[in-house]
């Protein structure tokens, strides 16, 4: 049998570099050197010297092995390992024998001259030419940390610039040492600080054969886990690995230095000198780093302006291949995921025979396939120790689901999808899984995996409560004027508290609200997450009739007390504007809270007209009357309101009695007194709830954080649009301008009679209009001093109606002067001019003076599918025309087959029969 040959690629005359894939060599093409088993380190030196035409009598060769390393599922990376004896050579050969996919080894060669005591002589390399590089040294050579040979050095040239390409270039300094000096060696990726702190040194330096790759252990734990186990690592020879590891650690302990350190010729003790002092030490040379990032001693921070030398990435294993002994995984989770993917792809199943934190063993249910992997203290990874595969049994019966496609596998697959869109439907996730695995897991399995993915992507639900005080403290510190109010309950543990409520309002919202209409809309919506709760929202309308977010709160549920607490927080911390109008639905908690609030301040409570009509329909059950209820709601003239009200009385006495129980000022424009500013419903705040829907199934801190960033983006966008309108020469908002232009077109048809110039009283007569429901030909009284018109449009919208515009034209004055200030673009810009400030990174947060916060376990949601939409009613457009889902067993509404009463009865009957 022919002897096996191993291919060695010898790199020489270039530069060692690093990128995200690890170490690589940039320089001339490598030389190929075939070798067989049995050659020694000395043989390697002789063969390499012969290949490179180097005289071994005058040179010392140093070899660096480009070691391939992989933690599944991450790609292969390469590390730099010193080879200095026979054990190192044998370890490389064992590596090539055991690792599938690697056919050769790469060696980087460094050459140092050897001279007698205090002799100085040059060494000329084989590739010597016009730009050849020379190396001079005295005693042991100090090589550059980024090159395999040093630049030219002489005593006379220490401070002399060399002209390269027309520019002065100072060659690197090389220190000259005598033979009797101790010249320690420092690994290439260390700095002075590493030797002052051994723990940091262990953390920052990575020895390939110790696999100290900073995964799941701290630096101290990795230092404690030095290799005492002589088992095979990455399928290399046991003794070779142990010897190389010991030698690498021995070099770490020798106090090695590099060119960045300066040695004192007078003795062995060294002190690092940060700056060169040529006056005091003319013979001392210093190497100054080209970038401060070099001194941080991390490869990640080292950058090179030239494009990296691309090398193909080799994958040792994927789900299409078989496992093998020696395969490494970062942790047990990665191992389990790989085995599950392997079986899902092949439609096979397995059972777990052994499982503990340090070992995992599985076996096929139908054949001799088995795998066993253990945690190895030597490298801190899970390693496949036994494997018998592939499967010899036939594939299982095809089904819609797979036993190994569990919630853990699904969660990993859906993590990024759920993070990008937490509101994505389960059916969409099922389709995503089917496209990947050709299996369609059950609804409840995918739902549970989605909940895990949310927790993984956005943080632990319980820990999120403890983070919330810190985040809000950072918010208030960085955004002056923001307000946060807490209400907690005492806990059994000292220094701890139970979350009850939190209120927050951003400083820019508080400041900008002064320029909005004095109207707010309040609404509540329940949370979907692990813990029950309700999100309360207060919003307003700006001059463009657009949403203006004002304040938020999370409470246990909607009650009289929670609503009163929320409104008092607004009153004390946000605004106490006189004449503020609060629009809401007819929730009993809101009505009770507003009744108390209005007794102590001049606030006005108004109902959403859609909710009034909806509640009317629920009580009376007449959809025709429901539509008619909206008519008097919207009528701004008392005469027209009364006509519509009389029609309802004629059609339904019960309907009229129901409306009599509602104070007319709370639901009709004609009796409103102008407090609504034309806002009739809470549609805007309900739409805001829809925007925040994606946040309502997230941990509490993420929910609060989302409101902050949404407001930041919204304020920026609204401010930009308002400024653009001002730049275009506009004076009032488009909303007000459209209404004004509409009414201005009617004004020329009106006739004006002056009653009193001094009092500003005028009579305006409208023309006959046969197309109008009320036929026109009406008289209206306009009072310019009191800003009133008998049609009441001016009072309702704060925008001059056609009658007022006709009077102003008659008087020769501009009617736009009577448009309310909130519709001026100056005020619109002022609404969004306050700036949000960036919340600093968590490392800069101040610790809040706050107890450790825990969620209320009584509010923990029961297991099962939560309700994610509100109860439907007739306000849902087209709801009555949409079919409701039916039970597949009894074909009735209100339940499914899992909770069907007929199924329960059938089960009981079956039990009695037996």
3-state secondary structure 769-790: CCCCCCCECCEEEEECCCCEEC
- Cβ–Cβ < 8 Å for 206, 62: no
Please tell me the predicted confidence (pLDDT) of residue 695.
72
Place of tokens 């009744």: 595
pLDDT value at 730 more than 90: yes
Terminal alpha carbon distance of the chain: 74
Please tell me the predicted confidence (pLDDT) of residue 624.
74
**Given CA atoms 369, 374, 378, 379 in this order, what sign does their dihedral have?**
positive
Q: Is 690 left (phi over 0), alpha (psi -120 to 50) or beta?
A: alpha
**Per-residue pLDDT reduced to its tens digit, 14-23:** 888 888 888 8
pLDDT value at 910 more than 70: no
Top-confidence residue, 814 or 210: 814
Q: Which of 260, 258, 252, 259 is nearest to 212 (CA)?
A: 252
Bridge partners (DSSP) of residue 541 are: 547
Please tell me the predicted confidence (pLDDT) of residue 102.
61
Bridge partners (DSSP) of residue 68 are: 78
Calpha distance 181→3 (Å, rounded): 47
Please tell me the predicted confidence (pLDDT) of residue 126.
35
Three-state SS for 69? strand
**Mean per-residue pLDDT for 83-102?**
80
- Residue % of the chain over a pLDDT of 90: 31
**Mean per-residue pLDDT for 487-500?**
92
Q: Quick one: pLDDT band at residue 581, thresholds 50, 70, 90?
A: very high
Q: Which of 108, 90, 384 is nearest to 244 (CA)?
A: 90
pLDDT value at 70 more than 80: no
pLDDT value at 818 more than 90: yes
Burial of residue 573, with CB atoms counted within 10 A of its CB: 0-12 exposed, 13-18 middle, 19 or more buried: middle
**Mean per-residue pLDDT for 250-267?**
40
Q: Which of 670, 667, 702, 696 is nearest to 681 (CA)?
A: 667
Peptide bond into 390 cis (omega under 30): yes
Calpha distance 913→905 (Å, rounded): 12
Least confident of 151-165, 453-467, 731-745: 151-165
Q: Residues 724-733, buried b or exposed e (16+ Cβ, 10 A)?
A: ebeeeeeebb
Calpha distance 731→287 (Å, rounded): 66
pLDDT value at 352 more than 70: yes
pLDDT value at 911 more than 70: no
Least confident of 126-140, 414-428, 775-789: 126-140
Q: Quick one: pLDDT band at residue 719, thresholds 50, 70, 90?
A: very high
Q: Which of 608, 606, 610 is nearest to 626 (CA)?
A: 610
**Mean per-residue pLDDT for 100-106?**
70
- Cβ–Cβ < 8 Å for 461, 855: yes
Please tell me the predicted confidence (pLDDT) of residue 529.
80
Q: Would you report the helix, strand and coil content of the chain in percent, each value rounded to 5?
A: 35, 20, 45
Q: Quick one: pLDDT band at residue 477, thresholds 50, 70, 90?
A: very high
**Mean per-residue pLDDT for 585-593?**
93
Q: Quick one: pLDDT band at residue 68, thresholds 50, 70, 90?
A: confident
Measured at the alpha carbon of residue 604, what is the angle toward residues 603 and 607, in degrees to the nearest 5? 145
pLDDT value at 460 more than 60: yes
The full DSSP string for 49-65 is HHHHT--GGGEEEEEEE
**Per-residue pLDDT reduced to its tens digit, 821-831:** 999 999 999 99
- Residue % of the chain over a pLDDT of 70: 69
Q: Quick one: pLDDT band at residue 809, thresholds 50, 70, 90?
A: very high
Bridge partners (DSSP) of residue 526 are: 534
Q: What are phi and psi of 822, to 5 degrees?
A: -65, -15
Calpha distance 364→23 (Å, rounded): 40
Q: Supply the pTM of this predicted model.
A: 0.57
Mean pLDDT of all residues belonging to the chain: 74
**Per-residue pLDDT reduced to its tens digit, 515-552:** 999 999 999 988 888 899 999 999 999 999 999 999 99
Torsion of CA 767, 772, 773, 776, to 10 degrees: 0
Torsion of CA 69, 72, 76, 77, to 10 degrees: -60
**Per-residue pLDDT reduced to its tens digit, 158-175:** 333 333 333 333 333 323
**Mean per-residue pLDDT for 287-305?**
34
Q: Which of 256, 302, 286 is nearest to 158 (CA)?
A: 286
Least confident of 161-165, 281-285, 356-360, 452-456: 161-165
**Mean per-residue pLDDT for 255-270?**
38
Please tell me the predicted confidence (pLDDT) of residue 764.
95
**Per-residue pLDDT reduced to its tens digit, 839-894:** 999 899 989 999 999 999 999 987 655 554 454 555 554 444 455 677 776 777 76
Give the pairing of strands 779-783 and 761-765: antiparallel
Please tell me the predicted confidence (pLDDT) of residue 865.
56
Q: Which of 750, 870, 744 is nearest to 815 (CA)?
A: 744
Q: How many CB atoms lie under 10 A from the CB of residue 156?
A: 6
Please tell me the predicted confidence (pLDDT) of residue 691.
65
pLDDT value at 196 more than 80: no
Which pair of tokens denotes residue 337?
A: 């995921």
Calpha distance 364→353 (Å, rounded): 10
Calpha distance 794→678 (Å, rounded): 10
Most confident of 137-146, 597-606, 681-690: 597-606
Bridge partners (DSSP) of residue 485 are: 503
Top-confidence residue, 457 or 296: 457
Identify the H or E element spanning 472: helix 461-478
pLDDT value at 692 more than 50: yes
Please tell me the predicted confidence (pLDDT) of residue 467.
94
Burial of residue 105, with CB atoms counted within 10 A of its CB: 0-12 exposed, 13-18 middle, 19 or more buried: buried
Please tell me the predicted confidence (pLDDT) of residue 774.
59
Burial of residue 249, with CB atoms counted within 10 A of its CB: 0-12 exposed, 13-18 middle, 19 or more buried: middle
């Amino acid at each position: 049998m022919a002897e096996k040959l191993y291919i060695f690629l010898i790199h020489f005359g270039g530069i060692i570099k690093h990128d995200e894939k690890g170490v690589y060599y940039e320089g001339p093409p490598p030389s190929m050197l075939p070798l067989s088993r049995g050659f020694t380190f000395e043989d390697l030196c002789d063969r390499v010297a012969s290949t490179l035409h180097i005289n071994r009598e005058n040179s010392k060769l140093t070899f660096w092995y480009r070691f391939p390393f992989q933690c599944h599922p991450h790609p292969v990376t390469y590390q730099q390992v010193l080879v200095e004896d026979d054990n190192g050579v044998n370890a490389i050969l064992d590596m090539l024998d055991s690792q599938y996919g690697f056919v050769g080894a790469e060696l980087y060669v460094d050459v140092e001259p050897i001279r007698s005591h205090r002799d100085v002589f040059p060494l000329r390399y084989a590739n010597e030419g016009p730009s050849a590089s020379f190396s001079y040294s005295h005693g042991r050579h100090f090589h550059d940390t980024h090159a395999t040979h040093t630049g030219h050095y002489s005593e006379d040239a220490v401070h002399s610039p060399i002209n390269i390409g027309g520019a002065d270039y100072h060659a690197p300094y090389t220190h000259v040492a005598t033979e009797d000096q101790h010249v320690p060696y420092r690994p290439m990726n260390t700095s002075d600080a590493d030797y002052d702190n051994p723990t940091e040194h262990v953390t920052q330096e990575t020895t390939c054969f110790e696999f100290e790759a900073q995964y799941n252990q701290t630096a101290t734990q990795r230092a404690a886990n030095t290799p005492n186990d002589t088992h095979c690592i990455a399928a290399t020879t046991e003794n070779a690995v142990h010897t190389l590891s010991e030698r690498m650690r021995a070099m770490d302990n020798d106090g090695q230095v590099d060119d960045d350190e300066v040695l004192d010729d007078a003795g062995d003790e060294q002190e690092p000198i940060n700056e060169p002092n040529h006056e005091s030490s003319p013979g001392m040379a210093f190497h100054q780093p080209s970038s401060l990032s070099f001194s941080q001693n991390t490869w990640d921070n080292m950058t090179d302006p030239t494009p990296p030398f691309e090398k193909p990435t080799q994958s040792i294993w994927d789900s299409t291949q078989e496992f093998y002994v020696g395969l490494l995984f970062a942790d047990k989770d990665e191992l389990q995921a790989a085995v599950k993917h392997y079986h899902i792809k092949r439609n096979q199943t397995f059972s777990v025979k052994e499982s503990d934190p340090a070992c995992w063993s599985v076996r096929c249910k139908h054949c001799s396939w088995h795998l066993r992997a253990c945690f190895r203290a030597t490298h801190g990874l899970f390693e496949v120790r036994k494997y018998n595969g592939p499967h010899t049994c036939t594939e299982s019966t095809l089904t819609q689901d797979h036993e190994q496609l569990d919630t853990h596998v699904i969660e990993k697959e859906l993590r990024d999808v759920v993070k990008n869109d937490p509101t994505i439907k389960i059916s969409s996730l099922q389709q995503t899984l089917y496209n990947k695995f050709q299996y369609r897991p059950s609804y409840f399995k995918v739902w549970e995996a989605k909940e895990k993915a949310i927790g993984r992507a956005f943080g632990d639900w319980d820990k999120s409560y403890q983070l919330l005080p810190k985040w809000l403290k950072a918010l208030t510190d960085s955004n002056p004027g923001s307000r946060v109010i807490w209400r907690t309950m005492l806990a059994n543990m000292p220094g701890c508290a139970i979350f009850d409520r939190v209120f927050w309002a951003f400083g820019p919202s508080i400041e900008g609200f002064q320029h909005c209409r004095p109207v707010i809309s309040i609404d509540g919506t329940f949370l979907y997450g692990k813990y029950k709760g309700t999100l309360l929202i207060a919003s307003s309308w700006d001059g463009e009739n657009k949403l203006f977010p004002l304040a938020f709160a999370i409470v246990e549920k909607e009650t009289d007390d929670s609503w009163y607490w929320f409104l008092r927080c607004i009153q004390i911390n946000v605004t106490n504007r006189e004449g503020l109008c609060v629009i809401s639905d007819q929730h009993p908690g809101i009505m009770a809270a507003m009744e108390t609030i209005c007794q102590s301040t001049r606030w006005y409570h108004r109902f959403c007209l859609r909710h009034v009509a909806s509640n009317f329909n629920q009580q009376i059950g007449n959809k025709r009357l429901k539509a008619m209820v909206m008519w008097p709601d919207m009528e701004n003239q008392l005469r027209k309101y009364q006509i519509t009200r009389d029609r309802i009385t004629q059609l339904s006495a019960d309907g009229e009695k129901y409306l009599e129980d509602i104070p007319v000022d709370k639901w009709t424009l004609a009796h409103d007194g102008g407090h609504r500013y034309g806002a009739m419903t809470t549609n805007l705040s309900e739409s805001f709830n829809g925007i925040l829907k994606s946040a309502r199934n997230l941990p509490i801190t993420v929910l609060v954080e989302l409101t902050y960033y949404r407001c930041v983006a919204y304020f920026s966008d609204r401010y930009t649009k308002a400024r653009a309108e001002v730049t275009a020469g506009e004076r009032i908002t488009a909303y007000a301008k459209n209404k004004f232009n509409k009414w201005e077109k009617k004004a020329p048809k009106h006739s004006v009679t002056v009653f009193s110039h001094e009092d500003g009283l005028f009579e305006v007569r409208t023309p006959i209009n046969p197309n109008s429901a009320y036929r026109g030909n009406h008289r209206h009284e306009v009072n310019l001093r009191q800003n009133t018109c008998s049609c009441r449009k001016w009072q309702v919208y704060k925008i001059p109606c056609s009658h007022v515009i006709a009077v102003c034209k008659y008087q020769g004055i501009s009617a736009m002067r009577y448009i309310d200030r909130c519709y001026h673009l100056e005020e619109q810009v002022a609404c969004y001019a306050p700036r949000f400030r960036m919340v600093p990174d968590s490392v800069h947060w101040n610790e809040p003076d706050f107890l450790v916060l825990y969620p209320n376990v009584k509010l923990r949601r029961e297991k099962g599918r939560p309700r994610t939409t509100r109860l439907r009613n007739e306000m849902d457009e087209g709801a009555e025309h949409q079919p409701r889902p039916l039970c597949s067993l009894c074909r009735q509404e209100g339940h499914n087959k899992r909770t069907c009463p007929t199924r329960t009865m059938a089960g009981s009957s079956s039990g009695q029969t037996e």
